[in-house]
């Protein structure tokens, strides 16, 4: 393990405790080509257990999503999409999956879903009433562009889940340390404050929750359901974000 002061590329906001991990490689290329080699998906039984718990926590949205269209960002192999559509009786023609990995995108297309094989930030001419991003946002470097893109794409509801309260290590090799784990693709760790703050100009929180470890993922997660504002919220000028350099 790294000694204290051995995280040269990790920064923490001194106001909201949001953590940023500065990965120095090509993040899109890493996720398209390397991520699943280093971190294959969990066993099917465990994944289904997590998904069913997540869907149970979302049960109440069934009254708001009938007849809607859906876009899932970072849909992987389509397992969540399949379970979501079964749970809420959604037709696959109304559910679009956006996935950067070409192999996973191909699997999802074979399941009958509409599929966009690209980075979400590069997607064009896609709109949906409900946008879903589960354990995706922590993998996106430019979260401000992501938030703006969701506001452009989403008509009504945004469902977000991100990891919280996680230990970390340096995302890049550090000279003299040979035991650093492989980069897990996470460049952001949100706090309950920063996760809401990111979307507040265009979305209003309807539901927030922090799950227990091993409930919907291996560790605790922040869950957000946000409603699109009819008018963009006027916010005060952005303060200059100050980071604590964890070195």
For residue range 46-85, list pLDDT tens digits in order: 999 999 999 999 999 999 999 999 999 999 999 999 999 9
Q: 97-120 pLDDT, tens per residue?
A: 999 999 999 999 999 999 999 999
Question: What distances in angstroms separate CA 83 from CA 54, 60, 91, one per listed residue?
Answer: 11, 16, 12
pLDDT at 173: 86
Is a pLDDT exceeding 50 seen at residue 247?
no
Identity of the highest mean pLDDT range in 1-15, 28-42, 176-190, 214-228:
214-228
Cβ atoms of 140 and 30 within 8 Å: the answer is no
Round to whole Å and give the CA distance between 36 and 228: 33
pLDDT for the residue 73: 97
> pLDDT tens-digit profile of 79-101?
999 999 999 999 999 999 999 99
CA angle 71, 74, 90 (to 5 degrees): 35
Smallest Cα–Cα separation from 10: which of 164, 189, 218?
Answer: 189
129, containing H or E segment: strand 128-134
Task: Return the structure tokens found at 68.
Answer: 């809607």
| 184-to-17, 36, 62, 91, 109 alpha-carbon distances in Å | 20, 10, 33, 33, 26
Q: What is the pLDDT of residue 6?
A: 57
Question: What confidence tier does 20 reach under pLDDT thresholds 50, 70, 90?
Answer: very high
pLDDT of residue 5: 52
3-state secondary structure of 54: helix
Predicted local confidence at residue 243, as pLDDT: 45
Is the entire prediction scored with pTM above 0.75? yes
**Cα 47 → chain centroid:** 16
**Six token digits for residue 146:** 């992501």
**Integer CA distances (angstroms), 33 to 134, 153, 171, 226, in order:** 20, 26, 17, 32
End-to-end CA distance of the chain: 14
More confident residue, 204 or 36: 204
Q: How confident is the model at residue 237 (pLDDT cuts 50, 70, 90)?
A: low
């Amino acid at each position: 393990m790294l000694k204290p002061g051995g995280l040269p590329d990790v920064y923490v906001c001194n106001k909201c405790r949001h953590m940023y991990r500065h990965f120095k490689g090509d993040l899109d290329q890493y996720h398209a080509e390397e991520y699943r080699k280093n971190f294959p998906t969990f066993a099917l039984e465990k994944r289904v257990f997590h998904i069913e718990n997540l869907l149970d926590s979302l049960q109440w949205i069934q009254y708001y999503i009938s007849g809607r269209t859906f876009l899932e960002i970072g849909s992987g192999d389509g397992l969540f999409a399949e379970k979501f559509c079964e749970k809420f009786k959604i037709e696959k023609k109304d559910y679009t999956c956006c996935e950067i990995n070409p192999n996973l995108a191909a699997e999802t297309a074979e399941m009958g879903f509409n599929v966009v094989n690209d980075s979400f930030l590069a997607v064009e001419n896609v709109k949906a009433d409900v946008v879903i991003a589960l354990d995706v946002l922590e993998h996106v470097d430019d979260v401000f562009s992501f938030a703006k893109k969701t506001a452009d794409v989403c008509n009504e509801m945004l469902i977000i889940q991100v990891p919280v309260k996680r230990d970390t290590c340096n995302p890049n090799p550090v000279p003299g340390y040979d035991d650093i784990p492989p980069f897990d693709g996470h460049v952001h760790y949100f706090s309950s404050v920063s996760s809401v703050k990111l979307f507040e100009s265009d979305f209003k929180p309807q539901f927030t929750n922090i799950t227990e470890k091993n409930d919907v993922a291996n560790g605790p997660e922040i869950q957000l359901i946000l409603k699109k504002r009819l008018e963009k919220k006027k916010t005060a000028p952005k303060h200059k974000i100050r980071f604590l350099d964890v070195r």
